Amino acid sequence: MKDLNLFSRVFPILRELVERDIKLRYRRSILGIAWTVLNPLLMMGVMLIVFLNFFRSQVENYPLYLIIGHIMYGFFSSATTIGLNAMVWNSSLIRKVYIPKAVFPISVNLSALVNFVFSAIALLIVMIITGARVYPTILLFPVAIFYLFLFTMGMSFALSALNVFFRDIEQLYRVILMAWMYMTPIFYTVDIVPDWAKWIVRANPLSMYIEYARKVIMLGEVPGVMENLYCLLPGIIMLALGGLIFHKTKDKFVLYL
Amino acid sequence: MDGSLEEKPDIVIEADHLSMMFNMSREKVDSLKEYVIRLVKRQLLFKEFWAVKDLSFTIRRGERVGLIGHNGSGKSTTLKMVCGVLKPTKGRVSVRGKVAPLLELGAGFDYNLTARENVFLNGAILGFSRSKMRDRYENIMEFAELKEFEDVALKNFSTGMVARLGFAIATCYDPDILIIDEILSVGDRDFQAKCHERIDELIGRGTTILFVSHSDDKIINICERVIWLDHGNMVADGEARGIIERYENNG
């Protein structure tokens, strides 16, 4: 099969699957897609009340600081937890018809990306309410999302494949995800982290993506070449690794689902 | 049908020494704990089950071929390999042309979606773009007699309704190869008659058909050639009537 052929075959499926995810998520909910905007705002409200007294002094616009970290981490955690089950939940399709298997993790990530775009409206609302200064560098925000997307996609490939063979990955991953959240500066700033743990937070790719976004939105700085490389490399490595695991195991999925 | 002149462009399905092995003991291991226990006990690689053994055949454009055999003879496994759902453990199968697979009831459907949404999802899986499906949408709904239920979720459908929808979608765009696994037996008499009409129409246009059924009458009605499988081995391959007779006498 030629590449172009494969794309024209895969694209309609991806489109239907992404639409399916979004439709099913909001079916029977009165506010529908508005939840995607409302949810991060409400969550941010809660975190604001809880953490305001602890961290107010370090950051000039703490609500904005919070919501950037929250929606980016939210994208990562929802895309990977759903991605983890991409194969298992679609087992009825995989066992009965031929579909290029990679469409499932990819469609999950694309749906999460669509949701992310809506939740970015919440970010704009916070910027307006807090009267934040708008820097032209905010246009680089999608670059941070692109790096994050590569990483999330790689994670989803790896997790969805492993979960087919070992269903307890799901339980394990929940714990990992929680630890990961605490290793990411969502509501705290890196300088309050004790010295022995700083390197963990700094080496965490999620921290890099979130810091990148905060830099372009809140400080109006253009990240340097090295910073871009530090963001790009983990994404590419994860994608290559996840893709490799997925590719090596995909023919066996149907036997284990 | 004198198999001497095998012009390659004429062949639409070529199965080349197909074998499919299921590892019975490993299939049940799906937790890490169990995996480690079995790894330690060295039980991981035991109990091979060969559902299909070294099966070769070629099917030409326009041939109507039936697969017969008892339960567990490897018929469905063979069809699944031809459709690409299963990857053969050994051997290779090449297929030329657009395949319309009707392997199982509700294959390629999401039961949470409505009938309308499923038409487009299933169409996409079969390789048709949305605009192509839109052109045929009315046609499909009319054939399946489900127009008034188009916005009902599939989980509320009866088996017959799901089967009708599946058949209508698979045959809406002239497929080159139609692969049917037994599912024509669902649906009422009227709908079955309609299906056979549509199949006859496709046969008239030169569609290749690969058909599994436990009903000898249906096989004789549709197929000119029959492949008889038993425990994953080919027993016979040839003219339908003769082989069906032998098969029946064999019990």
Are B108 and A97 a contacting pair at CB < 8 A?
Answer: yes
Taking phi over 0 as left and psi of -120 to 50 as alpha, with beta for the rest, A242 belongs to: alpha
d(CA B134, CA A178): 45
A12: chain B residues, CB-CB within 8 Å = 123-124, 127-130
Q: Are A112 and A106 in contact, with CB atoms under 8 Å apart?
A: no
Assess B28–A contact: CB distance below 8 Å, yes or no. no
ipTM of the complex in this document? 0.78
Angstroms from A110 CA to nearest CA on chain B: 17
Are A97 and B125 a contacting pair at CB < 8 A?
Answer: yes
B84: chain A residues, CB-CB within 8 Å = 98
Q: List, as one string, the DSSP characters of A70-98.
A: HHHHHHHHHHHHHHHTHHHHTHHHHHHS-
Angstroms from A68 CA to nearest CA on chain B: 34
Tens of pLDDT along chain A (257 residues)? 444 567 777 888 999 999 888 888 877 777 777 888 888 899 888 988 888 777 666 788 889 999 999 999 999 999 999 999 999 998 888 888 888 899 999 999 999 999 999 899 999 999 999 999 999 999 999 999 999 999 999 999 999 999 999 888 999 999 999 999 999 999 888 888 899 989 999 999 999 999 999 999 999 999 999 999 999 999 999 999 999 999 999 988 888 87
Domain ranges of chain B: 8-97+176-250, 109-165
Nearest CB neighbour to B130, from listed A9, A12, A94:
A12
Q: Chain B residue closest to A16 (CA)? A: B121
Assess B108–A contact: CB distance below 8 Å, yes or no. yes
pLDDT of residue A31: 73
* Number of inter-chain CB pairs under 8 A, A vs B: 71
Domain count along chain A: 1
Are A255 and B120 a contacting pair at CB < 8 A?
Answer: no
Q: Chain B residue closest to A171 (CA)? A: B31
Query: Residue A145 belongs to what domain range?
Result: 3-256
CA B120 to mean position of chain CA atoms:
20
pLDDT of residue A223: 95
Cα dihedral sign, A34-A37-A38-A43: positive
Angstroms from A250 CA to nearest CA on chain B: 10
Q: Are A105 and A153 in contact, with CB atoms under 8 Å apart?
A: yes
Nearest CB neighbour to A20, from listed B83, B113, B129:
B113
d(CA A211, CA A207): 6
Low-confidence ranges of chain B (pLDDT < 50): 1-6
Nearest CB neighbour to A168, from listed B32, B106, B125:
B32
Q: Are A55 and A62 in contact, with CB atoms under 8 Å apart?
A: yes
Assess B49–A contact: CB distance below 8 Å, yes or no. no
Are B108 and A93 a contacting pair at CB < 8 A?
Answer: yes
pLDDT of residue A210: 97
Question: What does each C-alpha distance from B8 to A150, B94, B99, B102, B176 come to in angstroms?
Answer: 44, 12, 18, 26, 16
Assess B48–A contact: CB distance below 8 Å, yes or no. no
Are A97 and B107 a contacting pair at CB < 8 A?
Answer: yes
Tens-digit pLDDT profile for residues B81-101: 998 888 999 999 999 888 888
pLDDT of residue A2: 41
Nearest CB neighbour to B30, from listed A13, A23, A256:
A256
Structure tokens at A61: 């616009």
Please tell me the CATH code under which domain B8-97+176-250 is placed.
Answer: 3.40.50.300
Q: Chain A residue closest to B82 (CA)? A: A98
pLDDT of residue A233: 96
**In a 3-state reduction of DSSP, which class is residue A32?**
coil
Q: Chain A residue closest to B86 (CA)? A: A254
Nearest CB neighbour to A20, from listed B101, B104, B121:
B121
A16: chain B residues, CB-CB within 8 Å = 120-121, 124-125, 130
Substitution target from B21, B30, B52 for chain A, most A beta carbons within 10 A? B30
pLDDT of residue B5: 36
pLDDT of residue B30: 66
B154: chain A residues, CB-CB within 8 Å = none
